[in-house]
Structures are given as C-alpha cells and as structure tokens.
Amino acid sequence: MHDHECTCHPGYVHDTLVPQVGIITDIRQETPDVKTFRIEPPQGGKFFEHMPGQCAMICVPGVSEAMFSITSSPTNKEFQEFSIKKCGELTDCLHSLEVGDQVTVRGPYGNNFPVETDLKGKNLLFIAGGIALAPLRSVINYVLDNRDNYGHVDILYGSRSADDLVQLKEIQEVWMNTKDVDVFLTIDRPQDGWNGNVGFVPTYLRELAFDTNRIAVLCGPPIMIKFCLQALQEMGFQKEQIWTTLELRMKCGIGKCGRCNIGSKYVCKDGPVFRCDQIDELPAEY
C-alpha cells in the first residue's frame, strides 16, 4: 500500500494520514453493545487489500478517530466489516449512525496473523473472549475459506452472557457446520435457555484439555489473556506456539506519534500481532 503514488500529493508516496470516505452500507446489532458495520468506499468494494489481524482507522469527522480491527476476512472479496463495541465517545457516536451515513477510513495498519507461514498446515486452537472475537473472526474465516491448507480447527469462545456472543449466527450456521471444526461456547454465569457450558474461558480451556499438537491464537481482555496463557502453559504449550494481540492507544497508525510505543516496538506498526515469547521481551507495560 505504501508504495503507491499519492493521489493527493503527486510525486510523493501514498499518504497514509489522509483517509478515504466510507459509506456505511449495513449495520448488524450483534449484542446490546456491539454492532457490526459494513463500510464501503463510494464506488463500492473494499478500501484496500488487508491480511487477517490488520486494522484500520475509522473516524467520524469532528468527533474522533480510533483504530479497529478489520473483522471481515480478506477472502471476502466484496466488502469490509468492523465489529465495534460501544464504550467511549467515538464508539457511542458510531452506534448512533445509520445506513447511508459517511465516515472516513484509512489503513491497513499493522502486521497480521501468520496465516501463510506459522499457521499453515497446523491444527489451530482459537480462544476469544467478548468483543475480541472481532480480530479472530478475520483469521478464522480466512482459514475456513482455505480449508485444505490447515489442520483441525477448535474454537473456544466465551462472553459475559449468551446475549453478548458476537457473530452468533455465523458461528452456528457456518463454523459449527464446517468439516473438522469444533466450536465450544461458554458464558460467565448460568442463564435461562442456555444449555452450553458455564464458566470463564480459562477454566473451560483447562477442562477441554487440548493436546499440544496445535498453534493457539488468543485474543481477549488482558485478564483473560493472562489466565489463558497460564492454562496453556500448564497444558504443555510453549510460548512459541501461542499468538496474541496487544492493544494500546494509537493516533497515527504509522509508528510516529509515540502513543503505542512499548520498548523498541510500536504496536500500530510492529504489532498488533505478537508471539507470546516476543511479548516476554517487551517491558511489562501493556
């Protein structure tokens, strides 16, 4: 992306600080506080090509701008989607928007999950909590759309309640019906009408007792990551087998504004995807 000539500044490379206009073409209410937005450029299609795990800056002009993971897979050739939780000034505003409203989008930013290298040919275990399914959905759908390139897939996904499970329709209709894919859902507390597992993700992870012949991809709130990492290691996983993402405040997206600097890394540029042994080398400031 960065090598294209800039359309607004001729003679210079593509300027990643200047966004494109995006039109919201679809909104799905996933949970009481999560909506999935389909956003397209005015001419339709995608803003750019991306890889699973990469992010984009979405802005409501005059309100604010923030980094969001691109939840749709690159194998979706038609459009790009973002699952966004209502939890601040910008996301409150995004949740008030309607189909047809316009925002701005710039990206893609950051590295990606190593779908074409480290994950290829392996059995995969995806572990997600709450809204953190958003970045993993991109990888999972990429893997399922290239099914022959990967081994068995297990997906462990938990949330506070049954109402807080994101992308439930796709999980039930697509993921659960794909060959060699097992989906395990869990919620924090018992709830009427819920027949599945009840308990925190790390506890359920231990109960499921996966063998170590697989790569784990872990995404969730910091506390869940901490305990899942502990559980995985007790189960015999090496840190080199576990991938996760970091999330820090970002403004520029290109490793210059200083916000997401941690050690000698910039999470917006060198991350957000890290292998757990790489995270160990960083100062404990995330």
228 exposure class (CB count in 10 Å sphere: 0-12, 13-18, 19+): buried
**Is 195 one of the binding residues for another protein (CB under 8 A)?**
no
- Which residue in 8, 77, 193, 195 binds another protein (CB under 8 A)? 8
Contact 79, 46 (CB under 8 A): yes
For residue 222, the tally of other CB atoms under 10 A from its CB is 10
**Is 93 one of the binding residues for another protein (CB under 8 A)?**
no
- For the bound state, the minimum distance from the C-beta of residue 265 to another protein, rounded and expressed in Å, comes to 8
- For the bound state, the minimum distance from the C-beta of residue 61 to another protein, rounded and expressed in Å, comes to 4
For 16, 30, 152, 227, the CA distances from 8, given in Å and listed in that order, are 11, 37, 46, 47
Nearer to another protein, 251 or 275 (CB): 251
- Which residue in 104, 149, 161, 278 binds another protein (CB under 8 A)? 104
To the nearest 10 degrees (0 to 180), the angle between helices 201-208 and 222-234 is: 20
Give the sheet arrangement for strand 197-198, strand by strand: 197-198, 181-187, 153-159, 124-129, 215-219, 242-245, 273-275
Any residues with CB less than 8 A from the CB of 249 and at least 6 apart, and which?
259, 260
- Which residue in 41, 151, 196, 255 binds another protein (CB under 8 A)? 255
**Is 9 one of the binding residues for another protein (CB under 8 A)?**
yes
3-state class (DSSP) for residue 140: helix
- Which residue in 221, 226, 230, 238 binds another protein (CB under 8 A)? 221
- For the bound state, the minimum distance from the C-beta of residue 19 to another protein, rounded and expressed in Å, comes to 7
| CA nearest to 57, candidates 27, 26, 7, 20 | 20
- For the bound state, the minimum distance from the C-beta of residue 195 to another protein, rounded and expressed in Å, comes to 31
- Which residue in 32, 190, 193, 283 binds another protein (CB under 8 A)? 283
**Is 88 one of the binding residues for another protein (CB under 8 A)?**
yes
**Is 19 one of the binding residues for another protein (CB under 8 A)?**
yes
3-state class (DSSP) for residue 231: helix
Residues in region 168-187 near another protein by CB under 8 A = none
- Which residue in 48, 64, 184, 233 binds another protein (CB under 8 A)? 64
43 exposure class (CB count in 10 Å sphere: 0-12, 13-18, 19+): exposed
**Is 251 one of the binding residues for another protein (CB under 8 A)?**
yes
- For the bound state, the minimum distance from the C-beta of residue 257 to another protein, rounded and expressed in Å, comes to 5
**Is 286 one of the binding residues for another protein (CB under 8 A)?**
yes
Contact 143, 151 (CB under 8 A): no
* Site of interaction with another protein (CB under 8 A): 2, 6, 8-9, 12-21, 59, 61-65, 87-88, 91, 100-104, 221-222, 247-249, 251-252, 254-259, 261-264, 281, 283, 285-286
